[in-house]
Amino acid sequence: MTGTHDAIILGAGAAGLMCAAVAGQRGRRVLLIDHNRTPGAKILISGGGRCNFTNIGAVPERYLSENPHFARSALSRYTPRDFLDLVERHGIAWHEKTLGQLFCDGSARQILAMLLDECAKGGVDLRGGVSVTAIDHADGLYRVEAGGAVARAPALVLATGGPSIPKMGATGFAHDVAKRFGLKLVQPRPALVPLTLSGGEALFTTLSGVASNVVARCGKAAFREAALFTHKGLSGPAILQISSYWRHGEGIAIDYAPDRPAGWLLDAKAASPRTSLKRLLAEDMPERLAATLATQIGLEGELGQTTDKALRAAAQRLKDWRFHPTGTEGYAKAEVTAGGIATAGLSSKTMEAQRVPGLFAIGEAVDVTGWLGGYNFQWAWASGWAAAQAL
């Protein structure tokens, strides 16, 4: 490991592996260091072991960042089609699941093997199980002390991701190093994470395991997918998506009846006056949830015995059921970290720090966070590829 390279990349996850492979194949001498013995740990567990490796709808509008335009350049120069071409060149079978999400037919291991193969083709010197003990910069070279050896290069790429899922070796290392070099951070926070409930809303936790198709809203963001009640609060894709937009103190709104037209309870009263709200709701959702909602609304009798005013109010409440989450389940359960290295200090074309020549940041470490469903890997591939063009 000792010696001079063209680039040292810290973090052999999705972004670091892509960046190393592309830079290596462009003729750069690349050293890639990870403190985990096995690279790409999150790739292996992603998508339930099948890796949702991209999304064909990966447009900049589906990413959160203080600068919503920052991701545009990288995403347009390395597209889902580009990654799919790579996957197909390696003979990996894939399928589209829902909402543009592409998965391996077989195993996420194939994606990691593909990236390692590409790194090998680029002659990348990959060192796993090595801890970085010191980094400094002098005379145009970055000096990295790791595993008892010293490496030097004119370029240093921060690709160690964010602190979500610490038990897998995730750290805030890239954020700390960036700060030391004078880059600013957008306050990191857990994202794509379950939300917690307490007080009067904790009664919903007794529905743990019950799921329903809803629209979840927070501010202008809205997601139509499944919500799942848990023993701590709310989860499921609709909630994970909305959690990235949610901030402490805010409420979220759930539409339990997204397909019911306005006035549907009045129509139901006219058509079947002896039916109940619970019975009607159970056509769209599990019975336990239907019963809880009817009880909470206080409308347990026959529709024919209920005033139109009460039915209108019930329909309105079901369309816009407010929850006030007390928090999230934190980094231990967060699929990604939102916030991170501020894009204001980086070039959107190369990911290089504007005021620190030779320092690059890519992947989840940067303040760019995708929706659930392959968007975060696409950002890792695209930002890694963009940096590799400049190394």
Can you tell me which of 11, 60, 325, 345 binds ligand FDA, judged by CB under 6 A?
11
Determine, following the binding rule CB under 6 A, whether residue 124 of this chain makes contact with ligand FDA: no
Size of the site for ligand FDA (CB under 6 A): 39
Pick the closer one to ligand FDA by CB: 339 or 374.
Answer: 374
Determine, following the binding rule CB under 6 A, whether residue 243 of this chain makes contact with ligand FDA: no
**Which stretch, 7-15, 114-122, 217-225, 230-238, contacts ligand FDA (CB under 6 A)?**
7-15
User: What are the tokens at 310?
Assistant: 């009460």
Can you tell me which of 118, 225, 364, 367 binds ligand FDA, judged by CB under 6 A?
364
- CA–CA separation, 141 vs 195, rounded Å? 44
- CA–CA separation, 117 vs 28, rounded Å? 16
State which amino acid sits at residue 90.
H
Pick the closer one to ligand FDA by CB: 135 or 280.
Answer: 135
Nearest CA-CA partner of 244 in 376, 365, 338, 332: 338
Pick the closer one to ligand FDA by CB: 51 or 227.
Answer: 51
Give the chain's radius of gyration (CA, Å): 24
- CA–CA separation, 225 vs 236, rounded Å? 8
Can you tell me which of 79, 171, 275, 347 binds ligand FDA, judged by CB under 6 A?
171
**Least distance (Å) from ligand FDA to the CB of residue 146?**
8
Beta bridge partners of 218: 221
Determine, following the binding rule CB under 6 A, whether residue 336 of this chain makes contact with ligand FDA: yes
Determine, following the binding rule CB under 6 A, whether residue 75 of this chain makes contact with ligand FDA: no
**Least distance (Å) from ligand FDA to the CB of residue 64?**
13
Binding mask 27-66 for ligand FDA (x = CB under 6 A): ------xxxx--x-xx--xxx---xx--------------
Determine, following the binding rule CB under 6 A, whether residue 86 of this chain makes contact with ligand FDA: no
Can you tell me which of 229, 377, 381, 385 binds ligand FDA, judged by CB under 6 A?
377
**Least distance (Å) from ligand FDA to the CB of residue 89?**
20
Interaxial angle between packed helices 308-319 and 264-271, expressed in degrees from 0 to 180 and rounded to the nearest 10: 130
Beta bridge partners of 338: 189
Contacts with 91 (C-beta within 8 Å, 6 or more apart), sequence order? none
- Burial level of 309, CB count in 10 A (0-12/13-18/19+)? exposed
**Least distance (Å) from ligand FDA to the CB of residue 161?**
3
Pick the closer one to ligand FDA by CB: 39 or 358.
Answer: 39
Provide the 8-state DSSP code for 206.
Answer: G
Nearest CA-CA partner of 362 in 80, 374, 349, 46: 349
**Least distance (Å) from ligand FDA to the CB of residue 299?**
40
User: Which residue has its beta carbon closest to ligand FDA?
Assistant: 13
User: What are the tokens at 272?
Assistant: 């079947």
User: What are the tokens at 207?
Assistant: 């529905």
- Burial level of 82, CB count in 10 A (0-12/13-18/19+)? middle
User: Which residues contribute to the site for ligand FDA (CB under 6 A)?
Assistant: 10-16, 33-36, 39, 41-42, 45-47, 51-52, 132, 159-161, 164-165, 169-171, 173, 335-336, 363-365, 374-377, 380
